Chains A and B, each alone.
Chain A
Amino acid sequence: EPALIFDLGGKFDKSFNEAAFNGAQRWAEETGGSFREIELQSEAQREQALRRFAEAGANPVITMGFAMADPLSAVAADYPDTKFVAVDVTWLDAPNIRQIGFAEHEGSYLVGMMAAMASKSGTVGFVGGMDIPLIRHFGCGYAQGVKAVNPDVKIVANMTGTTPAAWNDPVKGSELTKAQISQGADVVYAAAGGTGVGVLQTAADEGILSIGVDSNQNHLHPGKVLTSMLKRVDVAVYDAMKAGENLETGVFNMGLAEEGVGYALDDNNAALISGEMKAAVDQARQDIIDGKLNVVSYYENDSCPALKF
């Protein structure tokens, strides 16, 4: 029986954790199997949940978020027969962990391009959640995509805050969006968990476009959400559950090539995406896959060529 450990945001965060939940759900429906799950409440529960699930025989134990890296490195060795899956972790040295990293900057690059092309004002926005490297990583890829289309496009980037409340303050998300709109932005990319709900809402209310994150959020405001930067956590979780105990371990990087990231195109936003836009973006996608185009990762040296944080 597999187990799934959600990060502090909770499984219904409309983005990252929810994607994992959807993947697990799909697996359960298809196979009729069941899985254990826990929404973490505190830091100390990270290790606790790992051990408890491992001891209870859960296999694999799937964890969400980079914050699990440290507890995993402490726990994994104690349960050599258990396979662990770590989403958003790529740097651990353990034989029984499947580490999955996503190239969020690549996906963000694509939606950045779309933002620049959809923008009429020449200004686009980015609303991040808590100011941490991961979010800068998103923003950095996005900015590069924007600049690739038109180096003159202005990018307004804001972080919601410095406390965990930054993930759950839609009111602040709204205000940030309004501030960005008044600075001219007419496309806003939200990478801010629950706060993003406020960003998308305000964008829809004010008649500009927004870009969702992690899950496909196009349906939240049909015709108002330009696209969503997909991070196929659901697929990663689904695959892991499907493989079960025979899971392959090691480090897996899920980029555009692996279809680990991408952008969402469905009925809700079809009208917003012109053929020209789609062609350009798909070209870039192919170039990245082919290695012809390199999107710089913020992690490489903690800085971004296209955007200052």
Chain B
Amino acid sequence: MDKMPKWADVVLIPLISLILAAILSALVILGIGEDPVAAVNMMVSGALGSTYGWGYTLYYATNFMFTGLAVAVAFHARLFNIGGEGQAMLGGLGVAMICLYIPWPHWTMALLAACAASMLFGAVWAAIPAYLQARRGSHIVITTIMFNFIAAALLNYMLVNVMRPDGSMDPASERFPAAVHLPTLHELLAPIGISFSKAAPANVSLLVAVLACVVVWALIWRTRLGYEIRAYGHSESGALYAGISPFKITMVAMLISGALAGLMATNNVMGEAERLVLNSTEGAGFIGIAVALMGRSHPFGVFLAAILFGFLYQGGAELALWTNIPRELIVVIQALVILFTGALDNMVRMPLEKVFLALRKGNA
């Protein structure tokens, strides 16, 4: 028997938590001498008030969906993959190689190949920590953190010494050929008569991300492998009893996780920048942790949380464009959102449960 109706748990609590975070954010904005109402207006209209705003919101959200899913899949096997950042960097390397060194006749084929390459590179980068965890017991939290740093060094080396076009001073690869240009939402929606902002970077990899959400959902909740991953995550001794190999699950879960993180490169590298730059991941791997935690490791939750963070990113960009509010305000708002919806949700839940219990008793 539950203490609360499901809708209260799923909708009401996050909503109240968000409102609390918003109130605190408003106080912070007041504290630095700005107008919170105007700021919120600007964020909402800037991020959600136009197809342009949506285009950016969804672009960021796409990144976060990939990294959030990556963290979530590992979480189901009780593995804490902090290495999404490095895996996404490697994914970018894979995408860049596919796009630069192979002439593609059409973007669809390039996208398929880029997906495969980014997943492969990301998975390889996750495989070593996974193997060390499974066979040597090396704590995956440390090794994945270390692999982030190593990935940064590797990417830096590749860009500065190998992939940088002659004569360019920018540590970035060449621009990808036009043939691998991924259609943006503008290009995708125009044929069906919907006019979407031309400027926004959201592109077809959004669909890849949504597809990834669905696939991960099916994988985790509908397949044997997902069943085994969850079982292993809940109880290692139970897994042994059921004939589930801890080694296999650790490896497979991390490979999938790394592949998902790597997939992010189809969005930011192939879809947006259309070249590989040094800090293309810009912390999305870490945001993925917050997204997965807030989304309770469920793909739909990850989807929603990714959009929330996309909104914060784009809303924040608008604030930065049109006001003098320092960009760090957005970081603070993110922190408050994570804090209230993620860590302090019991602060809302506990009193609510009492209310619902009293209501039920009253009815009975």
Contact = CB atoms under 8 A, between A and B. Distances in A.
Contact of B273 (A36, A41, A43): A43
Contacts of A8: 279
Nearest to A133: B169
A48 B164 CA distance: 24
Interface of B: 56, 59-60, 149, 152-153, 155-157, 160, 164, 166-172, 175, 199, 201, 268, 272-273, 275, 277-280, 282, 313, 316-317, 320-322, 326-327, 330
Nearest to B174: A70
Given A67-B277, A132-B160, A134-B169, A43 B268 contact: yes
A69 B320 CA distance: 21
A41 B268 CA distance: 14
Contacts of B317: 41-42, 45, 48-49
B277 A51 contact: no
Contacts of A137: 169
Interface in A29-76: 36, 38-39, 41-45, 47-49, 51-53, 66-67, 69-70
Contacts of B275: 70
A132 B164 CA distance: 10
Given A38-B321, A66-B170, A163-B152, A44 B272 contact: yes
From A8, A42, A69, residue with most partner B Cβ within 10 Å: A42
A177 B81 CA distance: 35
Nearest to B199: A51
6 contacts: A39-B320, A52-B321, A67-B170, A70-B170, A91-B167, A162-B152
Interface in A207-224: none
Contacts of A51: 199
A43 B280 contact: yes
A139 B56 CA distance: 38
A43 B169 contact: no
Contact of B156 (A10, A69, A162, A302): A162
Contacts of B313: 41-42
Contacts of B278: 130, 132, 164
A48 B56 contact: yes
B348 to A, nearest CB: 30
Contacts of A39: 320, 326-327
A245 interface: no
A259 interface: no
Which 3 residue pairs are nearest across A and B when measured between Cβ atoms? A162-B156, A163-B152, A132-B171
Contact of B268 (A36, A44, A53, A133): A44
A288 to B, nearest CB: 20
A299 B160 contact: no
B274 to A, nearest CB: 8
Nearest to A73: B175
Contacts of B60: 44
B59 A44 contact: yes
B325 to A, nearest CB: 11
A5 to B, nearest CB: 10
A44 B190 CA distance: 22
B115 to A, nearest CB: 20
B47 to A, nearest CB: 12
A65 to B, nearest CB: 9
A36 B318 CA distance: 12
A133 B171 contact: yes
A43 B152 CA distance: 16
Contacts of B164: 133
A191 B212 CA distance: 43
Given A38-B321, A67-B170, A164-B279, A47 B201 contact: yes
A131 interface: yes
Contacts of A10: 327
B201 A38 contact: no
A70 B175 contact: yes
A162 B153 contact: yes
Nearest to B313: A42
B268 A48 contact: no
A10 B316 CA distance: 15
Contacts of B172: 67, 70
Given A67-B170, A133-B164, A163-B152, A41 B280 contact: no
A47 B321 CA distance: 12
A285 B316 CA distance: 46
